[in-house]
Copies of this chain bind each other. A is one copy, B any other.
Amino acid sequence: MTQTNDFRVDIPELLARQPLFQQMSMEHVNLMATQAREKRLGRGEMLFQKGDMPRGFYVVIFGQLKLAFPSSAGNEKVVDIIGPKQSFGEAVMFMDKPYPVFAEAISDTLVLHVPRDVIFELIRTEPTFAHLMLAGLSLRLHSLLQDVETYSLRSSAQRVVGYLLQQCPGDVGALGEGEIQVTLPTTKQIIASRLNLTPETLSRIFHDLAEAKLISVQGKQITINNARQLREYDI
């Protein structure tokens, strides 16, 4: 299934839709767009290694990447799974430090690279932009903290349940009693690593949840039978 059809993107529009840049003037967005460069990656290809020096940040146009820590024993720890229209790598730009994780395409992927000089310039000239950038980073920090809480205070099943509920389209608060369809964004292996689990454990948890009639699993298609009940699931 090679993505042969010539894929055209409206880069300024894509950038303008980033949470970070929504309140930015179109003039500045265009400035960024002219400086950005596309990069195509085959599945399994590395965008950068842990230890490389960053020169900007990235936005995914189509495809998917994982950010992960490598580990001597082959077992890596996936920190995040990045999909279309999501950006990543903003924070490292501001430190003189190498990437703490590596980024690998987990499907054929097109990313946009925005060099950091453009960003630095914007910060210098547009205070609103700096403020937005700060808000964006804070949000990242917040969700990482959330992860720490999850890893340390919740059991494996609770982590899986939490993940499924997060994937629901209508966001968190909506805990209707009706069925909800969720499509897993990638393989169960990668999701398992993201949740600090082995694939075996994830498989068994899905099995248990299905046996308890809370969900049903058909490949990457998960049907949540009752979100409210699922949320209350314990052990």
Contact = CB atoms under 8 A, between A and B. Distances in A.
A145 to B, nearest CB: 5
Per DSSP, chain A at the interface is helix
A199 to B, nearest CB: 15
A54 B145 CA distance: 16
A56 B93 CA distance: 25
Contacts of A120: 131
A142 B71 contact: no
Given A130-B127, A145-B144, A138 B71 contact: no
A100 B145 contact: yes
A157 to B, nearest CB: 16
A219 B125 CA distance: 54
A193 to B, nearest CB: 9
A94 B138 contact: yes
Contact of A138 (B91, B127, B131): B91
A217 interface: no
B138 A77 contact: no
A77 B95 CA distance: 28
Given A140-B141, A141-B144, A149-B69, A131 B135 contact: no
A10 to B, nearest CB: 28
Contacts of A152: 69, 77, 151, 196
A8 interface: no
Contacts of A139: 95
Interface in A144-165: 144-149, 151-153
Given A151-B151, A196-B152, A101 B145 contact: yes
B148 A144 contact: yes
Contact of A141 (B71, B91, B127, B146): B91
20 contacts: A77-B152, A93-B138, A95-B138, A95-B142, A97-B142, A101-B145, A123-B130, A123-B131, A124-B127, A130-B130, A130-B131, A130-B133, A134-B134, A141-B141, A144-B144, A144-B148, A147-B148, A148-B148, A148-B151, A151-B152
8 closest A-B pairs by beta carbon, nearest first, are A130-B130, A91-B138, A94-B138, A94-B135, A77-B152, A124-B127, A94-B134, A137-B137
